[in-house]
Amino acid sequence: MNALEYVPVPAFEDNYIWVVSDGHHAVVVDPGEAAPVRACLAKRGWRLSAILLTHHHQDHVGGVADLLKGQAVPVYGPAGEAIAHVTQRLKNGDRVTIAKPALEFSVLDVPGHTSGHIAYFQAADPGGTPHVFCGDTLFACGCGRLFEGTPAQMLASLDALAALPGATQVHCAHEYTLSNIRFALACEPGNVELQAWRDKASELRARNQPTLPTTIAHERAVNPFLRSDSPAVHATLQEQLHEKIFDRLTAFTLMREWKNRFR
Ligand code: ZN
Ligand code: FE
């Protein structure tokens, strides 16, 4: 089988619209705008075969209507959110099978950023590598804001993503890595892997390269929101916020609130 290409198409200020292709056909994930997707497809001679949506925010769905002009392709989206043009409504455990490119996903419910947010997990590409498209749930070194969900929901969603195989390539929907790393270092200044990642990510951004995809194993090591049981993180929160941390949900909740006001 042919290898697949996973292309992050930059959109707006800091979004990535992921395009997956076998060299002929392509699926697009969260097309917040159509023009950059059309340009990517035209440049490579790829034909759109399906659209996958993770949640209802405009910067993820705004380009759907335009992309459907002149062609009818299936549009997959969360069952728990009302999104125009969705033809297949998905919930936890559902499978998505696409013929061209040959892709198979299982669906994970990952509420927290929005209440119906889903992620698409591909257990193995033709080379055996797993991939996940997680929208605005998990970011490199961070997680999405809680617009519609509770901290407990988001923590459970991040736990589900963190339980995926370590080699899973994580395709996030925004380039937030450098500012997330600044916050992560405030949480865990002594994390050596995190320090190394700051240097690497700064270098990539200086050359205008994406810092994505990241991997689940890497996020477990450097992402404070996947490390809410870390004694180092608890110590920082106690010192910074003068709160006594007894459990990971409290730590996660305090960390998410601190990040909201962190500059
Ligand atoms: Zn969003
Ligand atoms: Fe977004």
User: Per residue in 211-226, pLDDT tens?
Assistant: 999 999 999 999 999 9
Catalytic site includes residue 85: no
pTM exceeds 0.75:
yes
pLDDT at 29: 99
Sequence-distant (≥ 6) Cβ neighbours of residue 248 within 8 angstroms: 155, 228, 229
Sequence-distant (≥ 6) Cβ neighbours of residue 164 within 8 angstroms: 121, 130, 132, 216
What are the angstrom distances between the C-alpha of 53 and each of 59, 112, 134?
11, 16, 10
- The pLDDT of 155-169, averaged and rounded, is 98
Catalytic site includes residue 174: yes
With b meaning 16 or more CB within 10 Å and e meaning fewer, what string describes 51-80? bbbbbbbebbbbbbeebbeeeebebbbbeb
Query: Does an H or E element contain 64, and which?
Result: helix 64-68
Catalytic residue among 25, 131, 171, 174: 174
How far does the centroid of ligand 2 lie from the alpha carbon of residue 190, in Å?
A: 30
pLDDT digits (tens, 9 = 90+) for 30-67: 999 999 999 999 999 999 999 999 999 999 999 999 99
Sequence-distant (≥ 6) Cβ neighbours of residue 234 within 8 angstroms: 245, 251
Which fold would CATH assign to domain 5-261?
A: Metallo-beta-lactamase; Chain A (3.60.15)
The response to whether 30 counts as a known ligand-binding position is no
Which ligand has the nearest atom to the CA of 149?
Answer: 1
Query: Does an H or E element contain 105, and which?
Result: strand 103-109
Strands 25-29 and 47-52: parallel
Cis peptide before 111 (omega within 30 of 0): no
- The pLDDT of 188-211, averaged and rounded, is 98
According to DSSP H, which parts of 83-162 are helical?
151-162
Half-sphere exposure of 91 (CA within 13 A, CB side): 4
Find out whether 224 and 183 touch, Cβ atoms under 8 Å: yes
How far does the centroid of ligand 1 lie from the alpha carbon of residue 144, in Å?
A: 7
Would you kindly state where each structural domain of the chain is located, as residue ranges? 5-261
How far does the centroid of ligand 1 lie from the alpha carbon of residue 91, in Å?
A: 18
Catalytic site includes residue 136: yes
pLDDT at 1: 56
Catalytic site includes residue 60: yes
pLDDT at 263: 87
Catalytic site includes residue 56: no
Per-residue confidence at 254, pLDDT binned at 50, 70, 90?
very high
Find out whether 51 and 63 touch, Cβ atoms under 8 Å: no
Q: Which of 83, 85, 84, 75 is nearest to 55 (CA)?
A: 83
The response to whether 59 counts as a known ligand-binding position is yes
Catalytic residue among 55, 56, 131, 171: 55
Q: Which residue has the tokens 């455990």?
A: 93
The response to whether 60 counts as a known ligand-binding position is yes
The response to whether 113 counts as a known ligand-binding position is yes
Catalytic residue among 22, 30, 56, 57: 57
Cα distance between residue 199 and residue 193, in whole Å: 10
Torsion, Cα of 220, 221, 226, 230 (10° steps) = 130
- The answer, yes or no, to whether residue 2 has pLDDT greater than 80, is no
How far does the centroid of ligand 1 lie from the alpha carbon of residue 38, in Å?
A: 22
- The answer, yes or no, to whether residue 188 has pLDDT greater than 80, is yes
Cα distance between residue 55 and residue 81, in whole Å: 7
